[in-house]
Each structure stands twice: as structure tokens, then as C-alpha cells.
Amino acid sequence: MDADSLKVLLIEDNPGDTRLMRGMLADAEGALFDVEWSNRLATGLERLVAGGIDLVLLDLSLPDSQGLDTFLRMRTQVPDVPIVVLTGLDDTRLAVTAVQEGAQDYLIKGQVDSPLLVRAIRYAIERHRMQGALRGLSLLDDLTGLYNRRGLFSLAGHHLKLAQRMHRGVQVVFADLDGLKQINDTFGHQEGDRALIKASEILRETFRRSDIIARIGGDEFVVLAITDSHDIPQDLTARLRQKLEDYNARNPGRYKLSLSVGMARCDPKEPSCIEELMAKADCASYEDKRSKGKP
């Protein structure tokens, strides 16, 4: 194959869909693809371990694996390879969940033509490379390992566009670590750093891998999450507060870890910019802090 060709692994057990995908990639104008094929998740994973694959086209319903577990097993074993999910019309919610868990995109069988397939593959690879590059640049917070403000804004535009294309909402969560100054003044800055690190770990445990989590200031965190229509914002808040309660119960100490939280939602029919959403969520977090009498 040409040096500029892309090696694609198609994991699909339906012979008709396999022929169709191969044909669309073979007919793609100006693009060169080397397509390998597997009809089982197990054999697909074996091939991926050998290396050299640029992207996976993954059917979620296979003889040896069904549903979201198919994607999660793939992502866990080969996190460095971008995945585009293939789904039937009746499984779009499952596909959206896979994107929320880290898939680069999803395609609905029967609604894909050659240009769309090629574009999805190109964009998925580019997004994956960009996300990987961010980890090696000055876009991460040195203390917590989360994205910093620059990292948040570098990814936010793509995240908002992806949500709009999928007709999904976006939830911005603004979380402020309560009492950081008092912790620093009373127990020292090293203890304050430990509190920030623990808060970042709890945020990671609360939200999905595909959500953007950033520390944008001394005691301020922002989460940008794509949500489905059945997601309830209060559920996110409740889950975060439960994680904090569980941590404080397991670690009784000189102070309790506490976050003041505010949210702002972007409806797909009324898109907003990240700055506007953050400002609204920040105001809501201030009201939460004031209601608790926190400094």
C-alpha cells in the first residue's frame, strides 16, 4: 500500500455490511485505505495487539460480544487506537453512549455513503491525534493532571460542535473547592494541594472519560459533558455530592472536603459558546456557596 494509506480494521459479522463498507472505502475518491476484517471481537483484539492499525470500525453487536461492553472491552485493551462505532437505526442511543465513553464517532448503517465514511474516518483520526498531542503540551494542570484553562478551551469548540451534530445537549459544571484558603492557612499549602488533588480524583470518578474536566484556577474546576435527553442535571450533582460524602466518611480528618457546584445547560437547538456557559455555571456555584455559608 501507499505510504499515505490508512490501515482500517473493520470488525463486523454481517457479510453484506462488510462488503458494503469495503466497497465504499475502495471507491473513495482521492483516499487510500488498507482494510482488514474480523467477524469476532476476540480476533479483532488479537489483530490490534499486533499493531499497525490506524482506526477501528466497530459493530457493537458481534457473536462474542454485545452492546456497550463491546466498545468498552475494545477501548480498555487498545486505548491508543481511535474507534468509530457502527450501529443500526434502533441503537443510536447506545452509539451516543459509546461516544460519551470515548468513541470518536458513530455511523448508522444504511445511512452512510462513501464521502461520509471517509470524512468520519479522517476526522476521527485527527481528533484522536489532537487529544493525544494535548497530553504532551502545556495544556495540563501540573498539580492534578486535569486539563488547564488553555486545554479546556482547546477542546471545548470541538465538543460543542460534536454535541450539536448529534443533537445532544451540553452540561457545563462549575465546581469550587470550599475553604481552600482556610486549609492553606491552618494546615499549610501542602495540605491544600492534597485537597485539590483529591477533589480532582472525585471529579474523575463522577464523570465519564469522554467528558472534559479542567482545573481553571486555584480552587476552580470546570466539567464539559455531552448529555442525552434523558439525563437529569440534578443526577450529576447528586452523584458528585455522594462521592464527596463517601470520601469524608472514609477519611475523617481535620476538615471535610466540600465543593460548591453550579450548572448551565446548552440545548442543541440554541447553541451557546463555552464562555457564556461557564459564566452561568459560575454564578450558580456562587449561589450554592452562599446558601451553605461558605467563605
Q: In this structure, are 85 and 166 located in the same domain?
A: no
Helices 149-165, 114-136: axis angle to 10 degrees equals: 160
44: β partners: none
Q: In this structure, are 53 and 92 located in the same domain?
A: yes
6-44 pLDDT, tens digit each:
899 999 999 999 999 999 998 887 668 999 999 999 999
Torsions phi, psi of 223, nearest 5?
Answer: -120, 135
Better-scored residue on pLDDT, 164 or 195: 195
Q: In this structure, are 114 and 156 located in the same domain?
A: no
Helices (H), the chain: 15-26, 41-50, 68-77, 92-100, 114-136, 149-165, 180-187, 189-206, 233-250, 274-292
Q: Are 80 and 54 in contact (CB under 8 A)?
A: no
Q: In this structure, are 170 and 130 located in the same domain?
A: no
Q: Are 33 and 5 in contact (CB under 8 A)?
A: yes
104: cell is 470518536
Cell 470541538 appears where?
A: 158
pLDDT-above-70 percentage for the chain:
94
Cell 462521592 appears where?
A: 243
Q: Tell me if 1 is assigned to some domain.
A: no
Mean pLDDT in residue range 154-169: 80
Domain at 101, CATH number:
3.40.50.2300
Q: In this structure, are 126 and 145 located in the same domain?
A: no
Q: Are 40 and 64 in contact (CB under 8 A)?
A: yes
Q: What integer pLDDT is reported at residue 5 of this predicted model?
A: 82
Q: In this structure, are 160 and 241 located in the same domain?
A: yes
Q: Strand, coil or helix: what is 229?
A: coil
108: β partners: 87
Domain at 261, CATH number:
3.30.70.270
Q: In this structure, are 13 and 68 located in the same domain?
A: yes
Q: In this structure, are 89 and 194 located in the same domain?
A: no
Q: In this structure, are 128 and 184 located in the same domain?
A: no
Q: In this structure, are 128 and 144 located in the same domain?
A: no
253: cell is 480528618
Q: How many independent structural domains does the chain possess?
A: 2
Q: In this structure, are 126 and 264 located in the same domain?
A: no
Mean pLDDT in residue range 237-242: 90
Q: In this structure, are 166 and 105 located in the same domain?
A: no
Q: Which domain holds residue 259?
A: 139-292
187-211 pLDDT, tens digit each:
999 999 999 999 999 999 998 877 8
Q: Tell me if 116 is assigned to some domain.
A: yes
Last residue of a domain, one of 90, 108, 134: 134
Kindly indicate the confidence band of residue 136, based on its pLDDT and cuts at 50, 70 and 90: low
Q: Are 200 and 145 in contact (CB under 8 A)?
A: yes
Last residue of a domain, one of 114, 134, 154: 134
